[in-house]
Structure 1
Amino acid sequence: MTTLFDMCSLIRSKNAGPFVLTFDLMFSSKALYERAKRTRALTAQHMVEFYGVNEADVTLVYHDAALAIKASIPRPVIQSAKGDGDCYGGQQYVPLLTIEVAE
């Protein structure tokens, strides 16, 4: 089975302000992007399972022109508040690497 790690040229996470994390999945070809889109390779349920957020708080956007999927969730801790272990949100993407994508 192919993973998102295998299909993307870039997977990253970062802050979208102090209250939101955003995840960018950029695909290395139109065919791989279309496959991910068709099979719903990334879902709100993935974000719920990996990050413990409410499904209603997950935003998923498909950018056809950029061959990219963007997901946004509330930060579990406000940026730089006590207990924030990733001030820039740059390490939060790792669980997405292992998502398996159907043919």
Structure 2
Amino acid sequence: MKRSIRELARVVRSKNAGPYELVLDILFKDSEIYSRIKESEQFNKELIAKLYKIEPERVHSIVWFDPANAVKVVMPRSIVSGAIGDTDVYGAQQHAPLLKIEFNI
């Protein structure tokens, strides 16, 4: 059964990690949901790369944090924070592609 990230997560957010990198955070509603998604290996660099239209190698890391039922992704910003053409200086609106995720759990 496919379930949307919107029904599985309490928080889906993004923020800068300096001017060159972006951090994506997902905090799941409970440890059961978190564990099922982590163990399924559906959330991976290939999924992030597809959502953000980048090569999987550009996804720097995916870190699972069990005490918070959370996963963190670090990847490069598409444009340096504050550069000409940047429309999101804080990186706070870059989580939107994550909202398309559906998991088979």
Q: Give the TM bin, normalised by the shorter chain.
A: over 0.9
8 Å contact 1:53–1:73 — kept in the other structure? no
Residues 27-64 of structure 1: CA deviation (Å, up to 9, x unaligned): 11000100110122421112211222221221101111
Match of 1:61 in 2: 63
8 Å contact 1:45–1:55 — kept in the other structure? yes
TM-score, normalising length from structure 2? 0.91
The alignment-based identity, stated in percent, is: 34
Distance 1:98 1:40 in 2: 17
Distance change in 2, residues 1:26/1:6 (3 Å): same
Distance 1:26 1:75 in 2: 21
Worse overlay, 42-51 or 12-21: 42-51
Residue 2 of structure 1 pairs with residue 21 of structure 2 = no
Match of 1:43 in 2: 44
Distance 1:66 1:41 in 2: 19
How many correspondences in the alignment?
Answer: 103
Residues 63-98 of structure 1: CA deviation (Å, up to 9, x unaligned): 111110000110010000011111111111111112
Unaligned stretches of 5+ in structure 2?
Answer: none
Distance 1:69 1:26 in 2: 7
Residue 79 of structure 1 pairs with residue 88 of structure 2 = no
SS state of the match for residue 65, structure 1?
helix
Unaligned stretches of 5+ in structure 1?
Answer: none
Match of 2:16 in 1: 15
Report the aligned-residue RMSD.
1.1
TM-score, normalising length from structure 1? 0.93
TM superposition outliers: structure 1 runs of 4+ over 2 Å:
none
